[in-house]
Chains A and B, each alone.
Chain A
Amino acid sequence: MSPILLAIVIVTVIGLIGAVILVAASIFMYVPVDERVEKITAVLAGANCGACGCAGCADYAKSIVEDGNAVNKCTPGGAKTAAAIAEIMGVEAGASVSMKAVVACSGTCGKTSKRYEFEGLQSCQAVKGLYGGDGMCKFGCLGYGDCTRACAFDAIHILDGIAKVDREKCVGCGACAAACPNSVISLVPEHKRKPVVLCQNKDKGADTRKACTAGCIGCMKCAKACPKEAITVENNLAYIDQDKCVGCQLCVKECPVGIIHVPANE
């Protein structure tokens, strides 16, 4: 047989054998894919933001069908998407809790100051690497906008030295929280009456006062005022348990530095 013909025959035969093996394998090792997965993927927001805790929308759809994941975790899609998924899955949607990003820092330009002038790369990550940041307070918002750049929805901006969330635009995906090197940003369930402590400073009261006039000094006044014992002060920082909180807002009035606020009303 001529070498050219042999070459053609060999490649063709290998290709054919491979094709037969693959077809056989795909029949023999067929894994049934639930058609609901595709349907759910179609109704999801498609932002692949990861707010649900899965790697992407398709991954979330799969985890709903296969692992019984909750149907109301798609924050960008909100209640509408949750209802649509619930219909596909044939279950009750349950209340879709809308999460919004909250910047736990009140240290605007007038309230705190800088320890040094930073002229390097304009990023929170970079300034954090230089003696823990340029602010007097090492816990607060650095104000170089890593969160702004991380946000896919144009919902967070630096205003008066600290990050401010546009609550209309925020979908609660948590991209900003992941980008913040100081972990100032967190996702808090949206509630019209429940307040949040807008400070992260864990220094002793006197040190906090030197660094920022709007910092939690751990005075315990809020904890004593709370009728439901929802507030604990740990490491000189007050924390409000959102599950226990009933939204009476006594702590808001009591706080001497005025850093307990209801984010929804800002």
Chain B
Amino acid sequence: MELAVKLASIFFTMILVDNYVLAKFLGICPFLGVSKKLDSAVGMSLAVTFVMVMATAATWPIYKLILVPAGAENTARDLSYLQTIVFILIIAILVQLLENFLKKFIPALYKALGVYLPLITTNCTILGVTILNLDNGYDFIESIVCAAGAGIGFLVAMVLFSGVRRKVEQAIVPSCFKGLPITLVAAAMTSLSFMGFGGIVDAIFKV
């Protein structure tokens, strides 16, 4: 029970409080680039969620077993400085492998994810979630839950913002604000609204 509460707390914290896009400001590029249409926003988010979980499942053991084996912290054997380059390598290999796999065995999903799958190979949210999981000292299960939460949080942010954006596009804005500037202002306000969730998850799960 305690474990379930803890995992739920991590999951919802990632969605509402520590939302990767709106609170940690990672993945702003797809957030602004792909949020124009609702269906592409959802497609992209699902692909991100999928890859996040897979990447976490692959990088966590590699970090704990190869880069920093038990007892090697702060010794000469501590290769944690390699995590960025190794993680990028692993995520790139993983996405490529995943694409091949989906193409062969689940063509429907491959079609649905389409161009977004290769697009997120070097996305900073993916790298971010793998690294921050380790920084937070999560164990394997917690890391996976955290990655799934981060993905769903990304989905929530994308869907919300694609709605905001549709309103913004129809609004009459001063010509100097047209296009990207007003989109960024709108993004800032959406982000501010998420600040209101601060502490809510801690209060609910009493952690």
Give the chain B neighbours of A186 by CB distance below 8 A: none
Contacting residues of chain A (1-19) with chain B, CB-CB under 8 angstroms: 3, 6-7, 10-11, 14-15, 18
Q: Does B8 contact A (CB under 8 A)?
A: no
* Nearest CB of chain B from residue A7's CB, rounded to whole Å: 6
On whether the beta carbons of A29 and B66 are closer than 8 Å, the reply is no
| Inter-chain pairs besides A22-B100, A29-B103, 6 sampled, C-beta below 8 Å | A6-B77, A22-B93, A25-B100, A26-B100, A30-B104, A125-B170
On whether the beta carbons of B79 and A3 are closer than 8 Å, the reply is yes
Bin the interface of chain A by size: 20 to 34
Q: Does B176 contact A (CB under 8 A)?
A: no
* Nearest CB of chain A from residue B112's CB, rounded to whole Å: 12
On whether the beta carbons of A14 and B89 are closer than 8 Å, the reply is yes
On whether the beta carbons of A10 and B100 are closer than 8 Å, the reply is no
Complexed CA–CA distance, A94 and B104 (Å) = 34
On whether the beta carbons of B101 and A29 are closer than 8 Å, the reply is yes
* Nearest CB of chain B from residue A122's CB, rounded to whole Å: 10
* Nearest CB of chain B from residue A43's CB, rounded to whole Å: 23
Complexed CA–CA distance, A60 and B14 (Å) = 40
Q: Does B76 contact A (CB under 8 A)?
A: yes
Q: How many residues on the B side are at the interface (Cβ–Cβ under 8 A)?
A: 24
Name B's A-contacting residues (CB within 8 A). 62, 66-67, 76-77, 79, 82, 85-86, 89-90, 92-93, 96-97, 100-101, 103-105, 169-170, 172-173
Q: How many residue pairs at the A-B interface have CB separations less than 8 Å?
A: 53
* Nearest CB of chain A from residue B167's CB, rounded to whole Å: 10
Residue of B nearest to A2 (CB): B76
Give the chain B neighbours of A91 by CB distance below 8 A: none
The B interface is mostly helix, strand or loop, or mixed, namely: helix
* Nearest CB of chain B from residue A251's CB, rounded to whole Å: 38
On whether the beta carbons of A121 and B97 are closer than 8 Å, the reply is no
On whether the beta carbons of A11 and B97 are closer than 8 Å, the reply is no
Give the chain A neighbours of B104 by CB distance below 8 A: 29-31
Contacting residues of chain A (95-136) with chain B, CB-CB under 8 angstroms: 120-121, 125-126, 129
On whether the beta carbons of B82 and A10 are closer than 8 Å, the reply is yes
Give the chain B neighbours of A22 by CB distance below 8 A: 93, 96-97, 100
Residue of A nearest to B110 (CB): A31
Give the chain A neighbours of B97 by CB distance below 8 A: 21-22, 25
Give the chain A neighbours of B66 by CB distance below 8 A: 10, 14
On whether the beta carbons of B172 and A121 are closer than 8 Å, the reply is yes
Residue of A nearest to B85 (CB): A11
On whether the beta carbons of A126 and B101 are closer than 8 Å, the reply is no
Complexed CA–CA distance, A26 and B169 (Å) = 43
Residue of B nearest to A6 (CB): B79
On whether the beta carbons of A126 and B172 are closer than 8 Å, the reply is yes
* Nearest CB of chain A from residue B82's CB, rounded to whole Å: 6
On whether the beta carbons of A7 and B170 are closer than 8 Å, the reply is no
Could you list 6 A-B pairs, sorted by A, with CB under 8 Å? A6-B77, A14-B62, A14-B89, A18-B90, A18-B93, A125-B169
Give the chain A neighbours of B170 by CB distance below 8 A: 125-126, 129
On whether the beta carbons of A15 and B82 are closer than 8 Å, the reply is no
